[in-house]
């Protein structure tokens, strides 16, 4: 897959990673956390971490190298047992493998582990978390090289998989052949392609992703995990690239068979991101060509708000050219503009990512409807059964003044 234009994340990688590469140390003996990290990044200030071989790993290291805002930090602990962690006051929360929460910062600390394929799907793995597992062992089980970098307590980077090289080059590359054993990694690859949209995908990685589809592993994905990754992808800078990657690997029709994806939707989703639209609006744009969006929403367990937006957006796109006041009134009633004005505005903004919309005109029409005093009409109406009709007639009269 060729590199896509736009954005500056690859350039940021080339700038900031260059300064860190000289400090990287692949496979060297790790320093102890007592040499320097804590809530502020310096553990010698945290008594729980003193003497603990703890390392920041994954996305926090990657994003720092790219000069991006820091998110949640994940830690890996080497050479410790669950008893060691509990004895220090960490709170056990892991199910399949030992994960602990720091009692104050609530950051996650996982014991270094290896994994072996033992069944179908992303849960079909057996984990080993002995004290003999090294930091490098743990990093080599990860999905992409750019996510397999750790930072020592003294700031030195541990990069056994070439993640720094790929950050500099702007390449999404799998760590090893185990990539094709976990279907979630295909979703994550597509999602990272949407976030780092100017990164290319290594040919070998695309081949691994295709293998996940052809082997049937992708069919073992559970709906909740599909939605989790789709939601993150939709909030990325170029969401369309996620679905392009899924389509190119053959996965899109397997995990979202009701989705009708057109090339134009990618540009519309990019506009939605640039204009700061919420998740429900972006999902509606994604589904605007999909008449079976309700079935899709049920399949991937999309939230009810997202499912409703998807249905309403198609209706709104068809009703925006209302030729007269009666059509406009019917249109805004279907949008429930009186009870849900924020949703009405959200969906109008979504429509404006798809086609030209006179936002001011529709705002004036909504204001005209809200300007009708339904209470006063009700008080003056002798027949209570006629109140809804009388209110509607008043709203229609208000809209006719705008046409």
pTM of the model: 0.84
Q: What are the average pLDDT values for consecutive 10-residue runs of the chain, which has 403 residues?
A: 40 42 41 35 69 92 92 90 93 83 92 69 64 92 95 88 97 92 94 97 97 94 96 98 98 98 97 98 98 98 97 94 94 93 96 97 96 93 91 96 93
Asked which of 216, 232, 255 is the last residue of a domain, the reply is 255
Q: Which domain holds residue 107?
A: 9-255
Neighbours of 299 (CB within 10 A): 17
Please state at what angle helix 279-286 crosses helix 304-319, rounded to 10 degrees. 60
Residue 338 pLDDT: 94
- Return the DSSP state at 31: P
Residue 17 pLDDT: 52
Whether residue 205 is found in the same domain as residue 323? no
Query: Which domain CATH number covers 231?
Result: 3.30.460.10
Q: Take residue 175 and report the two structure tokens written for it.
A: 């760590």
CA atoms within 13 A of residue 175's CA, in its CB half-sphere: 24
CA–CA separation, 292 vs 237, rounded Å?
26
Residue 42 pLDDT: 54
Residue 4 pLDDT: 42
Sorted by sequence, the CB contacts under 8 Å of residue 349 that are 6+ apart come out as 275, 277, 281, 359
Whether residue 341 is found in the same domain as residue 229? no
Residue 128 pLDDT: 79
157 within some domain: yes
Q: Give the chain's domain count.
A: 2
Whether residue 43 is found in the same domain as residue 191? yes
CA–CA separation, 356 vs 350, rounded Å?
11
Residue 97 pLDDT: 72
Sorted by sequence, the CB contacts under 8 Å of residue 90 that are 6+ apart come out as 48, 100, 101, 102, 103, 109
Residue 34 pLDDT: 31
Our CA dihedral for 91, 96, 98, 103, rounded to 10 degrees, sits at -20
283 within some domain: no
Whether residue 334 is found in the same domain as residue 233? no
């Amino acid at each position: 897959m060729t590199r896509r234009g736009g954005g500056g994340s690859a350039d940021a990688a080339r700038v900031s990673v260059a300064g860190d590469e000289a400090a990287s140390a692949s496979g060297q003996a790790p320093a102890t956390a007592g040499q320097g990290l804590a809530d502020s990044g310096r553990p010698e200030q945290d008594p729980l971490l003193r003497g603990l071989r703890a390392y920041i790993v994954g996305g926090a290291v990657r994003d720092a190298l790219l000069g991006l805002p820091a998110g949640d930090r994940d830690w890996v602990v080497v050479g410790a047992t669950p008893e060691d962690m509990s004895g220090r006051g960490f709170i056990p929360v892991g199910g399949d493998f030992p994960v602990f929460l720091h009692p104050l910062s609530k950051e996650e600390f996982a014991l270094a582990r290896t994994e072996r394929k033992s069944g179908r799907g992303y849960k079909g793995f057996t984990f080993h978390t002995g004290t003999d597992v090294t930091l490098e062992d743990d990093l080599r089980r990860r999905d992409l090289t750019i996510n397999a970098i750790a930072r020592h307590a003294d700031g030195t980077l541990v990069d056994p998989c070439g993640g720094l090289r790929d950050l500099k080059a702007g390449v999404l590359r799998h760590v090893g052949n185990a990539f094709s054993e976990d279907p979630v990694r295909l979703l994550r690859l597509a999602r990272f392609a949407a976030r780092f949209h100017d990164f290319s995908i290594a040919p070998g990685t695309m081949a691994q992703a295709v293998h996940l589809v052809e082997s049937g592993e992708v069919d073992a994905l559970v709906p909740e995990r599909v939605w989790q990754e789709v939601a993150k992808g939709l909030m990325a800078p170029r969401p369309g690239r996620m679905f392009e990657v899924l389509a190119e690997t053959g996965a899109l029709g397997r995990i979202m068979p009701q989705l009708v994806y057109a090339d134009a939707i990618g540009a519309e989703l990019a506009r939605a991101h640039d204009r700061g639209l919420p998740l429900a609006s972006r999902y509606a744009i994604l589904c605007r060509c999909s008449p079976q969006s309700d079935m899709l929403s049920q399949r991937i367990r999309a939230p009810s708000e997202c499912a409703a937006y998807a249905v309403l957006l198609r209706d709104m796109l068809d009703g925006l050219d209302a030729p007269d006041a009666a059509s406009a009134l019917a249109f805004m009633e279907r949008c429930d503009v009186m009870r849900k004005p924020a949703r009405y505005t959200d969906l109008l903004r979504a429509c404006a990512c798809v086609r030209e919309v006179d936002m001011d005109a529709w705002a004036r029409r909504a204001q005209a409807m809200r300007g009708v005093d339904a209470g006063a009409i009700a008080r003056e109406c002798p027949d209570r059964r006629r109140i809804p009709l009388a209110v509607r007639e008043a709203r229609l009269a208000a809209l006719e003044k705008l046409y």
